[in-house]
Amino acid sequence: MTLYNVHIYREMRLAFEGIEADTPEAAAAIARDGMTSDANDIDDCDGEDFAALVDVIGDDEFEKSVTIDFEAERLRKAAPNLLEALELFLKFNDQWLITTDAQANLEHNRVMHIARTAVATATVGGVMTNHIDIHATLEDRRQIAVIWSIEDVQAVRPDFTDEQCWEVLQAARHYHDATVGINWDVLRCHADMVVDSAASE
């Protein structure tokens, strides 16, 4: 058995009394920016549990520490992308229904990517005990990465299996041209080559 130190991030109620403001919104903003220690009352209030930070006892460098997002936190993180996808969908839906314009189709694929990412974030089953924040890791090394997934390939080729989509992603990485990058057209091109390759076998 392993010993752990667990830090739970939980919703609580802070009461700030006697705030002077012009509007309820202004009063709420003042309280929001206040320090926890300045609250007149602190109540656990049986609120949501958002996340847990789990450290392994004896791991002084915190190399084995993991942050585990519970359902409420996953939904909170997904909300901005879900809202963006819905707003874009409502804005462009009528245009997508009547056009065959290539740029409109690319915009449609981008919105679908945002929506799929948000849904995946919100509906991960159980607790993400093996969650790795790749962007935080790269930030420490002053690096960046743009992530493409099989769902992105399926946005341009919905008929493809997961295995075919993975083959497309591998080809896009292997034949990457820094002057072009990876985009929807590149994925579509590699997808066509996958089909041609299968047909020639």
Q: What is the pTM of this model?
A: 0.44
Question: How far apart (Å, rounded) are the C-alpha atoms in residues 9 and 198?
Answer: 51
Cβ–Cβ under 8 Å, residues 87 and 68: no
**Is the per-residue pLDDT at 20 higher than 80?**
yes
Phi, psi (deg, nearest 5) at residue 5: -105, 125
In what order do the strands lie in the sheet containing 49-56? 4-10, 49-56, 66-69
The whole-number pLDDT of residue 19 equals: 92
Q: What is the pLDDT of residues 36-87, one digit of tens each?
A: 999 999 888 777 888 898 999 998 888 889 888 888 888 888 888 777 777 7
Q: What is the pLDDT of residues 108-149, one digit of tens each?
A: 667 777 767 766 666 654 344 444 567 777 777 788 888 888
The whole-number pLDDT of residue 126 equals: 39
The residues, any chain, with a CB within 8 Å of residue 118's CB and separated by 6 or more, are 78, 79, 81, 82, 85
> Cβ of 20: how many Cβ atoms within 10 Å?
7
